[in-house]
Structure 1
């Protein structure tokens, strides 16, 4: 029985790497955000807007515990998941935790192109975007750094880069 939790800031590559890695390890892949959306029939941003962050984080915690009861699974967490309640300690006990670590500059580059789909980033660009990411990452890093494996996922431009990351993670797992 294997259970792997991928974590990191938005844009770190959790879903991209998670899908590929889960296939290579013959594990089911679950993106926690999509799982929540499927259960509640609403997008994450709608749940946030309607219920507020506190209620959303409680939903997220309950859904995390639910998917963590599955066997042979790779779970891509939401960027904030490890930072609330005892989620980080819970994941460390329930399986193997992997933090996909990426620099502020690289995250800003990746997120600049898709910020319209991420409401918290929509009106930010350039230095303002970097500052926002930097401040968020600084507050989240103490949680992310508790992961059992901290992996440099900086270089993820091509399919070959993604394969190289997946191969290295296979060796670590």
Structure 2
């Protein structure tokens, strides 16, 4: 089975849903940022510091090419991954792209809670973060909209919701696309 690429804005649930689906299907889960860190022996922030955004994006692209050749994997991409170079085209050619959509209010709530872990938004207050999310989504929508499938990911904030959403993903995305064989 070709890879399934989970794309969408930060906080939409790519890693959360990917892990939950992986647990239910046995498919391998790859968080692209973690994969990059492992391969380069550096944190993403260190790669940015050492090589700048262009250097990071080049490394990200190289690792995306690598994981694109894997079978039976779910790949959670960084929020900006599809927006650079021809990454969205590469993902569409090599596998199935799924745009995880969460509402702005849900993204805001999740990112407010976890902003201390995200250098891009760490110092923002609630109003600044809301404005940032809205502006960023407008810029990224042309890339996200090129995904093969759109999937609502608002319900991932408790264990029961994670399992329900993961089962819905398996049914609506994997089984309906004849990608998963038990």
TM-score with structure 2 length normalisation? 0.91
Q: What is the aligned partner in structure 2 of residue 143 from structure 1?
A: 143
The size of the alignment, in residue pairs, is 173
Q: What is the aligned partner in structure 2 of residue 105 from structure 1?
A: 105
Q: What is the aligned partner in structure 2 of residue 14 from structure 1?
A: 14
- By how many angstroms is 1:155 displaced? 2.3
Counterpart-to-counterpart distance in 2, 1:165 and 1:66: 28
1:15-38 residue CA offsets vs partner (Å, 9 max, x unmatched): 110011122222111100000000
Q: Which runs of 5+ in 1 are unaligned?
A: none
What is the 5 A alignment of 1:1-173?
1-172=1-172, 173=174
TM-score with structure 1 length normalisation? 0.96
Alignment check: 8 A CA contact 2:22 2:28 kept: yes
1:115-149 residue CA offsets vs partner (Å, 9 max, x unmatched): 11111101101110000111111111111111111
CA-atom RMSD, angstroms? 1.1
Counterpart-to-counterpart distance in 2, 1:53 and 1:73: 27
3-state SS, counterpart of residue 114 of structure 1 = helix
Counterpart-to-counterpart distance in 1, 2:155 and 2:24: 20
